[in-house]
């Protein structure tokens, strides 16, 4: 799965989420090009390739069936 496909599925299943919104991404100095996706059990791990504002490098996890973002794995 690509980061763009994960974004599409997340927004389709969770229309009220602001995670991938343009303003949120801009606030953190992030772009879709800076993300990669790994399969991790029941979750997709969305990881940053390079640090962004404030040296953020943490990953985010999305359930493979619901595409809901998990706060921890």
User: Distance (Å, rounded) from C-alpha 53 to C-alpha 11?
Assistant: 24
β-bridge mates for residue 61, sequence order: 45, 70
pTM of the model: 0.86
Mean pLDDT of 12-29: 92
The total number of structural domains that make up the chain: 1
Q: Chain-centre distance of CA 26, in angstroms?
A: 14
Mean pLDDT of the chain: 92
Q: What angle do CA 61, 67, 73 make, to 5 degrees?
A: 25
For residue 72, pLDDT over 90 is answered with no
* Structural domain that includes position 57: 3-70
CB count, 10 Å around CB of 53? 10
Instruction: Give pLDDT, residue 49.
Output: 93
- Percent of all residues in the chain with a pLDDT value above 90, rounded to a whole number: 77
pLDDT at 73 over 90: no
């Amino acid at each position: 799965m690509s980061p763009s496909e994960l974004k599409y599925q997340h927004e389709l299943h969770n229309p009220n989420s602001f995670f991938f919104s343009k303003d949120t991404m801009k606030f953190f100095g992030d772009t879709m090009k800076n993300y990669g996706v790994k399969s991790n059990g029941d979750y997709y791990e969305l990881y940053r390739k390079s640090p962004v504002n404030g040296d953020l490098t943490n990953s985010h996890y999305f359930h493979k069936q619901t595409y809901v973002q998990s706060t921890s794995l």
